[in-house]
Amino acid sequence: MTFMAVETADKSKAIVTKALSSLGEIATLPEITVKIIEIVENPRSTARDLHEVIKHDPALSVKVLKVVNSAFYGLPGQIASIDRAIILLGLSAVKNIAIAASIARLFKGGRISEEFSAADLWRHSLAVGVACRAIAQRTHYPVQPDEVFVAGLIHDMGILVERQAFPEQLTEVITRYSAGEGDFLDIERQVIGADHQAFGAGLTTKWKFPRHLRAAAGFHHNPMALSPELQKIGHLVQTADVLCCQEKLGFYHTAEKGSITDHMLDDIGITREQLEETRAELPDDLSDAESTLAV
């Protein structure tokens, strides 16, 4: 790495650190969500430990039960209690539902330009999560579908940081990109000093998210920069991201010029035919998810 590259990386890191320290609500997950993540990541934790935490938050309990009983989840019969949900789904699945419910509340706010609003970004993020889940279910992906759904859901969280910390600069980035001035990430770096991947990596690190979720937020445009064991999740999110941008679902500018290569498909174990099946079913799957995880 050249001196100039090191200097640029240091400046980008400083910009991310300063932005995260200046944020309010967006930089802090609800305490109960943090506790849930800690419990599930601890191998000594039990279903009872998780139930004891969730039962003290009635609002979260309602959201979790709404998700597990939805068409999006597709379980037979009604699940009426959190302990039953944990028994049937497992600790990790309930953790991911709690993360999704907590993150949904952050995608609020008005339109900052004709081409961007938090609602647009939420629709895109949800679509990518849905696409990740659908691909994982088709390919017997080694990570649970709920886990990759969250990876897709949080992949563009860095844009929320930009929206709150640099609203005028983000508007300029979108305007310049729409005028054909170059690649979205390159323009971000020119205007803001860092791209949304850098902000996403910083935010998910602050949240103490697991490595694969930090990888999804920080490297979904360049997963080959990840260590070998994380490249698969990176390629999965990248594939879902490009697919949803091609379909113009929500805020689609970040990857609309991207392509889904044979290498990406081979790494995640999906055929072109299966990918097109995912594309065809995406509108209905997204509709189910939107009704379940309304902002």
User: What is the bridge-based pairing of β-strands 111-113 and 116-117?
Assistant: antiparallel
Closest to 250 in 3D by CA, of 203, 295, 219: 295
**What does the radius of gyration of the chain's CA atoms come to, in whole angstroms?**
19
For the residues 256-272, what does the mean pLDDT come to?
A: 95
Cα-based distances in Å from 38 to 3, 41, 147? 39, 5, 15
Question: Would you state the pLDDT for residue 111?
Answer: 74
pLDDT confidence band for 3 (50 / 70 / 90): very low
Residues 113 and 121: their CA atoms lie apart, in Å, by 13
Q: At what angle do helices 118-139 and 145-153 cross, to 10 degrees?
A: 150
| pLDDT value, residue 8 | 65
Rounded Cα–Cα distance for residues 183 and 169 (Å): 16
- Tens of pLDDT, residues 53-85: 888 888 888 888 888 888 887 777 788 888 888
Question: Residue 271: phi, psi to the nearest 5?
Answer: -90, 165
What does pTM read for this prediction? 0.90
Residues in the chain: 295
Q: Residue ranges of the domains in the chain? A: 3-28+108-292
Superfamily for the 3-28+108-292 domain: Hypothetical protein af1432 (1.10.3210.10)
Please say whether the beta carbons of 126 and 289 come within 8 A. yes
For the stretch 115-124, pLDDT in tens is: 788 899 999 9
- What six digits make up the tokens of 142? 């080694």
For 258, phi then psi, to 5°, come to -75, 165
DSSP state of 77: S
Do 250 and 90 meet the contact criterion of CB atoms below 8 Å apart?
no
* DSSP conformation class of 55: T
CA 241 to chain centre: 10
CA 99 to chain centre: 10
Surface-to-core class of residue 171, CB atoms within 10 Å of its CB (0-12 exposed, 13-18 middle, 19+ buried): middle
Q: Is 57 helix (H, G, I), strand (E, B) or coil?
A: coil
Under 8 Å between Cβ of 139 and 268: yes
Percent of the chain with pLDDT over 70: 95
